[in-house]
Structure 1
Amino acid sequence: MTFEMFSAAHIAGLVVFVLVMAALILFRARLREPALNRLIRVTLAIVLLGCELSLQASYFMEHSWWIGSLPFQLCSLMVLISAVVIIANHKGFYDVIFFLGSMGALQALLTPNLDESFPHFRYFEFFIAHIGIVAAAVFILAVERYRPSFRSVLLAMVWLHVLAIPAAITNIVTGTTNFMFLARKPGTASLLDLLAPWPWYLLQLEIVAFGIFLLLYGAVRLFPESEQAKGT
């Protein structure tokens, strides 16, 4: 079955997303207990890594693996980075998974670049991976009491460009890949459809990304100070 935006399969994925985020927020105090905290972080890391490994394995099994299957899309990179950061509890990289993870995965969940629908494997892998990315971001915010500063916003912008380097190089070398949608807009409907044609939408994306980071920063600042700890 071909995936359709806001179909029953899409809505079901979004409902699961809301339930997972609500559980992390509602049970945040209990999730700070050392044993349970460690269990959740390890479980989340395993789920994220499992998603990427199973996706790559599916390409090999279907004889469809090629250079375009490398994990250079923003969300693929965030799956790997979030898994490492969340299990190591490396607070120095909280800025990366909170801002970049939230921005990329939330857009992906709202406007999925997905061909296969329920019950195909890639439907489950897509939603589990992207929900997992946002779960990692919400976990460090609600449970670990991460509080970004304006410097965090600037660091997130820097990291966005750093992660775009291998994607851009691969796009140029192959001439066919479209990692991070730097070479062209995706074939499916997305927020990029509202922007100018290539390459001008890349400049507009700089403004959009910075604006989203500021919105995330402002939203976190609305939390009571007692619920947050100073970030990096």
Structure 2
Amino acid sequence: MNFFGGSSKGIRFEAFGISHLIVIGILVICIIGLFLVRNKLKELNLRKAEFVIAGFLVCADVLYNIWMVKNDIWRVSDSLPLQLCSISLYLVIILLLTRKKLVYEIVLFTGILGAMQAILTPYLFFGFPHFRFIHFFSTHSLIILVPFYFTWVRGYRPTLSSIGKVFIFLNILMPFIIFINKKTDGNYMFLGGKPETKSVLNYLGDYPYYIVSLEGVLLVLSLLLWLGLREKSKKVLKGTEIGM
């Protein structure tokens, strides 16, 4: 097996195979662990760590493009960083470098929801221990973990208006992506058709109606995520303490 090669022969990715389940398990443990040690992490100066993670993501993306070019699989139709998770990756890098609240509000939803869906139903053909497997799951895991870190450790919180900002961002982005798809004969953000592998899109109707259905699903999931991570009101907290 060529670690940096372009063939998946003999190392084909298997959805919910052992390596896939291990990765999902590690991610779940990391999320739970981050939540459990959040108060201890608040006491530390983690600015250098934020820069290191941002640097890792930049290097991972550069290596990914080098891998595609080296193996003659880089194509303008599907290799530009215009998939939702690619966009979220760049937003995570910007968030780590700038700590901008607006970037957090967007990537909290696009990153966590998009990357979780990608990890559960990955558009991936290379299994462990190929470079692409490691790249895919490490970057997508960080796209999820970084917004949780900014929520639980840095103290950022989403508001209802955050959901509105996400939808404005996505609906401004959508016409541009559709234009690029037409010019490149691509399918970025799957706005031109469903992916070859199984995903949630298989249950949302035919093209182009699944795009509208997907926005409805995104709204419901965004509201649930907001409910779970929003800042609890002082009255609710006080009432909880009295009840205890």
Query: Do they superpose with TM above 0.5?
Result: yes
- 2:47 corresponds to which residue? 38
Gaps of 5+ in 2: 1-10, 236-244
Structure 2 partner of 1:229: none
- Cα separation, 1, equivalents of 2:82 and 2:17: 28
Do residues 140 (structure 1) and 150 (structure 2) align?
yes
Q: String of CA shifts for 1:15-51, please: whole Å, max 9, x gaps.
A: 221122123212212322352x212211221222222
Contact 1:2 1:115 in 2 (8 A): yes
SS at match of 2:157: coil
Bigger mean CA deviation after superposition, 55-64 or 125-134: 55-64
Query: Distance between the aligned counterparts of 1:46 and 1:26, measured in 2?
Result: 26
How far apart, in 2, do the equivalents of 1:53 and 1:166 lie?
24
Q: How does 1:16-95 map to 2 (within 5 A)?
A: 16-33=26-43, 35=45, 37-67=46-76, 68-95=78-105
Question: Distance in 2 between the 1:11 and 1:119 partners?
Answer: 14
Q: Percent of aligned pairs with the same residue?
A: 31
SS in structure 1 of the partner of residue 74 of structure 2:
coil
The one-character-per-residue Cα deviations of 1:90-130 (angstroms, maximum 9, x if unpaired) are 12221111011111001001111111111111000000010
- Which residue is 2:161 aligned to? 151
Q: Which runs of 4+ in 1 moved over 4 A?
A: 222-226
Structure 1 residue 109 and structure 2 residue 136: aligned? no
Q: Which runs of 5+ in 1 are unaligned?
A: 227-232
Query: Aligned partners of 1:189, 1:143: CA distance in 2, in Å?
Result: 35
- Residue 208 of structure 1 corresponds to which residue in structure 2? 217
Q: Distance in 1 between matches of 2:216 and 2:95?
A: 27
Aligned partner of 1:138: which letter? Answer: F
Deviation at 1:63, TM superposition (A): 2.0
Which residue in the other structure is 2:18 paired with? 8
* TM-superposition CA deviations, 1:71-106 (whole Å, max 9, x none): 000001111111111121112221111011111001
Change (3 A) 1:149 1:174: same
> Would the aligned equivalents of 1:97 and 1:136 in 2 still touch at CA under 8 Å?
no
Shift of 1:145: 1.4
- Residue 205 of structure 1 deviates from its aligned partner by 1.1
Matches of 2:108 and 2:234 in 1, distance apart?
A: 18
CA distance in 2: counterparts of 1:199 and 1:215, whole angstroms: 26
- What is the distance in 1 between the residues matched to 2:217 and 2:202? 13
Root-mean-square deviation (Å): 1.9
**Post-superposition offset of 1:138:** 0.5
Find the counterpart in structure 2 of residue 193 from structure 1.
Answer: 202
